[in-house]
Amino acid sequence: MHEIADGVYRVPARHANSYLVEADNGLVLVDTGLPGSERKILDAIGSLGKKPSDVKLILLTHRHLDHIGSVAALKKKTLAVLVAHPFEKPYVAGSLVIITPRAWSLYGRIARRALAVASSTMKLLRLIKYHPAHVDESADEESLLDPVGLDGSILWTPGHTKGSVSLFLNKSRVAIVGDLLTSKRGRLVEPIFMENPTQTKASVQRVMDLHPATFCVGHGRPLSASKVRLKEKIGKLTKIEPKREEEDVDLESLAKDLSAEAS
């Protein structure tokens, strides 16, 4: 476990980072790693002198297995409120199958194929098994952080997935962004898998407008906001997919409809 800022800790779980944030009334856990990561995260909680029950809220930045894999075990152990964006709820619940987003580079396409083969092999051999969990609250509710006493906000930051969210902490100016960005060779760059590059760019700008000091990412080490380096051509990639653009035009209205149905 590594302290990133006052009361903010990175826990390198299986394949992806999880983060623990100390609040006035307990702990907030952001992401849960691959299945089997719960022991490492629980040990990190103990090293802070806390009990599992001190975790009051679990926030999932998005639906991919390396971020939600241990959520059922940790929710059962902590009894925390589980929060995710409405778009991600059916995937966390196991009613929709998780599909890796499109790759936007040659390297990404190769990695996507390799990931698909590895995932199929692990499922076949039962090396990794995901246990679904019920999402208690939608991440678009403004008052979610009030009960735990955390001074911050949950931002809808689509791009990697439609339902990706980020946690911004006002006091430390830390942004925990999941896979909105990835840390690579001392820079913060766009991920190789994105459902919509244009949205990724807009979401990064939305976070940057809050003047963060540090980005905490799902993969790699946290870095200063000055290390953000997005490719200029990223916004042009969606021109080859006009249908995708049309589908994403009314994304915000759709998210509100999903939230209303859930309530």
pLDDT in tens, 122-159: 454 455 688 999 999 999 887 899 999 999 999 999 99
Q: Is 52 exposed, middle or buried, given 0-12, 13-18 or 19+ CB atoms closer than 10 A?
A: middle
Cβ–Cβ contacts within 10 Å for residue 258, how many?
A: 18
CA proximity to 39, closest of 67, 73, 79, 76 = 73
**Domains of the chain with bracketed CATH:** 2-118+127-242 (3.60.15.10)
- The predicted-structure confidence for 19-75, as pLDDT tens digits, reads as follows 999 999 999 999 999 999 999 999 999 999 999 999 999 999 999 999 999 999 999
pLDDT at 96: 76
User: Rounded to whole angstroms, how far apart are CA atoms 159 and 163?
Assistant: 8
Q: Does residue 82 contact residue 135 with C-beta atoms inside 8 Å?
A: yes
User: Rounded to whole angstroms, how far apart are CA atoms 160 and 170?
Assistant: 24
CA 71, 76, 82, 85 dihedral sign is positive
